[in-house]
A and B are shown apart, each in its own frame.
Chain A
Amino acid sequence: MSEIVSKHTVSVLVDNEPGVLARVIGLISGRGYNIDSLTVAEVDAEKHISRITIVAPGTEQTVNKMISQLQRIVPVKRAANVTFENQGIEREMALVKIVSTGEKRVESMRLSDVFRARVIDTTHDSFVFELNGSPRKIDAFIDLMKPLGLSEVSRTGVVAIARGTEKM
């Protein structure tokens, strides 16, 4: 097994009941793992199933260990590694606020086009861009915006799903 530390995306299907998120993140922090990003929402309103997506750094082995420990939690139905490298698709949304005028303002507008970001709010001195894509794409956009008046960023965290016919 690979000993290289890299980012892993783990999807966890849980019964949506009180305290379930606390159980999942409590286990992760209690065992000394870190979390880079965390998203959670109900995905089946009838059966009350929520999907939690966790991005955590670690070796393949530590992440597998984390997954099997997550499976020990009673309301956890399934947990799986859906990292990009394991044929997963990852998407994230970001809201990016730029405060600038003149040439910088024009440049930020031009670059947002390249990234297919949408302007969802504007004043004479600011834009709020909405941007969807892989975490890497969003990182790149934010980097480019830094010299152009980047003021504030809000990101949803990663959601992920397996490619093809495979179901979790």
Chain B
Amino acid sequence: MVNIQMTGAQMVLQAFEDHKVDTIFGYPGGAVLPIYDELAKERDTNQPIRHYLVRHEQGASHSAEGYARSSGKVGVMLVTSGPGVTNAVTGLTDAMMDSIPIVCISGQVPTHLIGTDAFQECDAVGITRPCTKHNWLVKDINDLSRILHEAFYVASSGRPGPVLVDIPKDIQFQTGTYIGPETVKHKSYRPKLKANIDQIDDALKLIADAEKPIFYTGGGVINSGNAAVQLLREFVRLTGFPITSTLQGLGAYPGDDSQFIGMLGMHGTYEANMAMNECDLMINIGARFDDRITGKIDEFSPNSKKIHIDIDPSSINKIVKVDAPLIGDVAHVLEDSIKLWKSKVYKINKSSLKEWWKTIDKWKEKDSLKYVRDKNIIKPQHAIQRLYELTKDKDVFVTTEVGQHQMWAAQYYKFNKPNRWITSGGLGTMGFGLPAAIGAQVAHPDKLVIDIAGEASILMCIQEMSTAIQHKLPVKIFIINNQYMGMVRQWQELLHDKRYSHSYTDALPDFVKLAEAYGAKGIRAQKPIELDKAINEMIEYDGPVIFDCVVEQNENVFPMIPSGKAHNEMLLGDETEKEEISDEGKVLV
């Protein structure tokens, strides 16, 4: 398949085929009609591309993210010019923040109309420049195939991210030469995959000398792929060190393993944050010292040496200065590390590690995720715990929206495999969960996919229910309904003297009727006693479900590191004393 003549629209589909894309999410419009026309012609072939019609381009972008995150493949979306592109911006930014490989094809007004404020024209490459890893405006039909191949390469190599290819309508109609992907090589972009072996050795010496070590792992492990996950598990077991994970890293290491001490950060466990604070060696693998993780930077893990494995050189020393930076792909670096560890017969310091575990076990006794159950009202933590218990024997994919329910899901739902946990971490996009669940369900038609949602977030992309119905995607939406934008309310309680300014979600729809209006099933649970039966009913139903789980309104997410505080200044739920938050802390988000 080299050097043959075809139209621009045909080239787009040919490039999809060459890059093994069988699924796209999109919404048609004037400037992409030639490509949609090719999709229609292609429908009768043996292996047509499966196009999932969304109800809003934001939905297309999050579905592509959910598809990519749950499958490890590139997510592909197709949108029209102008509002098609601007609606996709939230999802592209989300993918940029969480390093998700997305190829977005957008239509553009014909080249001779660019810059004339034509109907549905916008400066797509200008608008998406800061929220894509790279983008292209195609002005010559003979550049198109090369650019498409480069787009897939850039999106999926190095630190993954979203890219956008903006194709004017006249280019889609023109005929030119299609070059196959095997002949295209990006002229300069070559991410470094292997770290320097001497630097790895220096890091291993730190590991061998450590008395109070901890692994701190992130989404980079999952992005690196299954090999990285297996190597991480091997290395962690080899050393016997405790391991904590960021929000995005959950599932890389089994959540129910005894070496795993829970998620860290603002709503992490007491033991994970205390261990980060008091460790003498931190081994950061594919995480980025995000502000949700570090708390107050000056007091972040003050006495530790730090190793940092990251494929992105700009992550190194960006926020926290590290002692042993290892730039490379997690799988490559871990493979070399394990080999070198064994060949040099390095040994860990067993007696001090034993003491370290004793300290950690003492912190564990605090049981920082405990909460008070209630006979009459469902506690949100309980709802998620029951959801976990009743689904843990299945291979479940969980997406979330953003807010309290997201943190409770991270705390109480345990993940034993990578790619099962799909959440908007960096950007914190409300409305992410439902379209992301649709994307995950498309990638895994026979698996159980649950969107753990809040009643406020779900309304931000509720229109995607139609998408689920049309394409027979049996996603389950489990709404933790406390009738508040819960996380906003929690912050207003702690920081703004309980002035709940506009955080009460008034005039909510009846979610059961809403489900029925879309042609889905609606289930409501209001009492703890109804919960298990209702959850089972949801799981067993063959089709989309909206589950309205009415919960305690005033519950807060604990533990919590308040803004501007350090890891060892956590608030635990049972502490009634009022913590003063400094003015400096209040301005943080």
Give chain A's interface residues, CB within 8 Å of chain B. 15, 18-19, 22-23, 26-27, 30, 61, 64-65, 68-69, 71-75, 77
13 contacts between A and B (CB under 8 A): A15-B187, A19-B129, A26-B129, A64-B317, A65-B318, A68-B314, A68-B317, A68-B318, A71-B314, A72-B314, A74-B134, A75-B134, A75-B188
Which of A18, A72, A74 is packed against the most chain B CB atoms within 10 Å? Answer: A74
Number of A-B contacts (CB under 8 A): 43
Majority DSSP secondary structure for residues of B touching A: loop
Q: Are A74 and B154 in contact (CB under 8 A)?
A: yes
Q: Which residues of B contact A23 (CB under 8 A)?
A: 129
Q: Are A22 and B129 in contact (CB under 8 A)?
A: yes
With both chains docked as a complex, state the minimum distance between the C-beta of B374 and any C-beta of chain A, in angstroms: 48
Q: Which residues of B contact A75 (CB under 8 A)?
A: 134, 188-189
Q: Which of chain A's residues has its CB closest to B188's CB?
A: A77
In chain B, residues 117-170, which have Cβ atoms closer than 8 Å to a Cβ of chain A?
125-126, 129-130, 133-135, 137, 139, 154, 159
Give chain B's interface residues, CB within 8 Å of chain A. 125-126, 129-130, 133-135, 137, 139, 154, 159, 186-189, 312-314, 316-318
Q: How far is the CA of A74 from the CA of B312 in the complex (A)?
A: 12
Q: Are A26 and B130 in contact (CB under 8 A)?
A: yes
Q: Are B188 and A72 in contact (CB under 8 A)?
A: no
Which of B125, B312, B314, B316 is packed against the most chain A CB atoms within 10 Å? Answer: B314
With both chains docked as a complex, state the minimum distance between the C-beta of A20 and any C-beta of chain B, in angstroms: 10
Q: Which residues of B contact A68 (CB under 8 A)?
A: 313-314, 316-318
Q: How far is the CA of A68 from the CA of B285 in the complex (A)?
A: 19
Q: Which residues of A contact B135 (CB under 8 A)?
A: 19
Q: Which residues of A contact B126 (CB under 8 A)?
A: 22
Q: Which residues of B contact A65 (CB under 8 A)?
A: 314, 317-318
Given A15-B187, A15-B188, A22-B126, the answer on whether A74 and B133 have CB atoms closer than 8 Å is yes
Contact of B137 among A15, A18, A26 (CB under 8 A): A18
Q: Which 4 A-B pairs have the closest CB atoms?
A: A68-B314, A74-B134, A69-B314, A72-B314
Q: Are A74 and B130 in contact (CB under 8 A)?
A: no
Q: Which residues of B contact A61 (CB under 8 A)?
A: 317
Q: Are B130 and A30 in contact (CB under 8 A)?
A: yes
Q: Which of chain A's residues has its CB closest to B150's CB?
A: A74
Q: How far is the CA of A30 from the CA of B130 in the complex (A)?
A: 8
Q: Which of chain B's residues has its CB closest to A64's CB?
A: B317
With both chains docked as a complex, state the minimum distance between the C-beta of B492 and any C-beta of chain A, in angstroms: 29
With both chains docked as a complex, state the minimum distance between the C-beta of B131 and any C-beta of chain A, in angstroms: 11
Q: Are A71 and B313 in contact (CB under 8 A)?
A: yes
15 more A-B contacts (CB under 8 A) besides A18-B137, A72-B312? A15-B188, A18-B139, A19-B125, A19-B135, A22-B126, A27-B130, A61-B317, A68-B317, A68-B318, A71-B314, A72-B313, A74-B133, A75-B134, A75-B189, A77-B188
Q: Which residues of B contact A71 (CB under 8 A)?
A: 313-314
With both chains docked as a complex, state the minimum distance between the C-beta of A72 and any C-beta of chain B, in angstroms: 5
Q: How far is the CA of A64 from the CA of B321 in the complex (A)?
A: 12
Q: How far is the CA of A65 from the CA of B134 in the complex (A)?
A: 20
Q: How far is the CA of A124 from the CA of B143 in the complex (A)?
A: 56
With both chains docked as a complex, state the minimum distance between the C-beta of A86 and any C-beta of chain B, in angstroms: 18
